[in-house]
Amino acid sequence: MKTSDFDFELPEELIAQAPLAERDASRLLVLPRNGGAPTHASFRDLPGWLRPGDLLVLNDAKVIPARLRGAKEASGGKVELLLCDPLASLGDRAVWRCMGGSSKPLRPGAWLRFEAAGGMLRAEIVAVGEGGFVDVAFDEAPDALLDRVEELGELPLPPYMKRAPEASDRDRYQTIYARHRGAVAAPTAGLHFTDEVFSALRERGVERTAVTLHVGPGTFLPVRADSVEEHRMHAERYEISQDAVDAIARTREAGGRVIAVGTTALRTLESAAEETGRIRAGAGVSSLFVTPGFRFRVVDGLLTNFHLPRSTLVMLVAALAGRERLLAAYTEAVERRYRFYSYGDAMLVS
Q: Give residue limits of the domains in the chain.
A: 3-63+170-349, 67-152
Nearest-angstrom CA–CA distance, 193 and 265: 15
Q: Which of 64, 73, 75, 70 is CA-nearest to residue 214?
A: 64
pLDDT in tens, 66-101: 999 999 999 999 999 999 999 999 999 999 999 998
Which pLDDT belongs to residue 256? 97
The pTM is what?
0.94
The model's confidence at residue 63, banded by pLDDT at 50, 70 and 90, is very high
The phi-psi region of residue 140 (left if phi > 0; otherwise alpha if psi is between -120 and 50; otherwise beta) is: beta
Residue 147: partners with Cβ closer than 8 Å, 6 or more residues away: none
The answer, yes or no, to whether residue 272 has pLDDT greater than 70, is yes
Whole-number percent of the chain with pLDDT over 90: 86
Taking residue 169's Cβ as centre, other Cβ atoms within 10 Å add up to 21
Instruction: Identify the CATH class of 3-63+170-349.
Output: alpha beta
Exposed, middle or buried: residue 9 (CB in 10 Å: 0-12, 13-18, 19+)? exposed
Q: What is the mean pLDDT of residues 120-130?
A: 94
Helix (H, G, I), strand (E, B) or coil at 137: strand
Nearest-angstrom CA–CA distance, 250 and 256: 9
Strands 61-63 and 180-183: parallel
Nearest-angstrom CA–CA distance, 112 and 124: 6
Q: Cβ(340)–Cβ(29) under 8 Å?
A: no
| Neighbour order of strands in the sheet with 346-349 | 39-42, 27-31, 346-349, 301-305, 258-261, 55-59, 207-213, 236-240, 282-286
The model's confidence at residue 223, banded by pLDDT at 50, 70 and 90, is confident
**What is the residue-averaged pLDDT of the chain?**
94
The answer, yes or no, to whether residue 117 has pLDDT greater than 80, is no
The model's confidence at residue 220, banded by pLDDT at 50, 70 and 90, is low
Fold of domain 67-152:
Thrombin, subunit H (2.40.10)
Q: What is the mean pLDDT of residues 207-234?
A: 86
The answer, yes or no, to whether residue 107 has pLDDT greater than 70, is yes
Nearest-angstrom CA–CA distance, 247 and 118: 41
Which pLDDT belongs to residue 159? 85
What's the one-letter identity of residue 174?
A: Q
The answer, yes or no, to whether residue 222 has pLDDT greater than 80, is no
Nearest-angstrom CA–CA distance, 79 and 102: 4
